[in-house]
Amino acid sequence: DAGITQSPRHKVTETGTPVTLRCHQTENHRYMYWYRQDPGHGLRLIHYSYGVKDTDKGEVSDGYSVSRSKTEDFLLTLESATSSQTSVYFCAISDRQTTDTQYFGPGTRLTVL
């Protein structure tokens, strides 16, 4: 998984609770991304980061926030989880200096009851 870890790998939480997912990379890549994967929708971009403290929204950003205080870590926060946020979340990285290829982490399965 190209030096990418995600934690936790599985989480069950209740509606209304805050949740933070962590992505950690050891590749020193500048760009990091959060996607969600749902049946019938494929992979959709939530937020991305193009450097420390530099982030921007993707196509499904409502209800999510992100932070990147270090090159290696990209956090995804659900301030108040809803059942519609039950999904599998993937982090990806790319350097974009030599290629636009994105490499994905192993994913976090989140269930909101």
Residue ranges in contact with other proteins by CB under 8 A: 1, 4, 31, 33, 37-45, 48, 50, 56, 58-59, 88, 90, 99-107, 109
Report the C-alpha gap between 88 and 102 in whole angstroms: 17
Question: Taking the complex as a whole, how short is the minimal distance between the CB of residue 80 and other proteins, in angstroms?
Answer: 25
Instruction: Select 31 or 81, whichever has its Cβ closest to other proteins.
Output: 31
Minimal distance in Å, beta carbon 77 to other proteins? 20
Shortest distance, position 14 Cβ to other proteins, whole Å: 21
Closest CA to 68 of 51, 56, 45, 89: 51
Per the structure block, which two tokens stand in for 61?
């950003």
Q: How far is the CB of 4 from other proteins (least distance, A)?
A: 8
50 vs 69, which CB is nearer to other proteins?
50
The tokens describing 99, both together, are 């290629």
DSSP class of residue 11 equals E
How does DSSP classify residue 110? Answer: E
> Based on CB atoms, which residue is closest to other proteins, 85 or 102?
102
Q: Looking at beta carbons only, is 18 or 97 nearer to other proteins? A: 97
According to DSSP, residue 79 is labeled S
Place of tokens 């934690």: 7
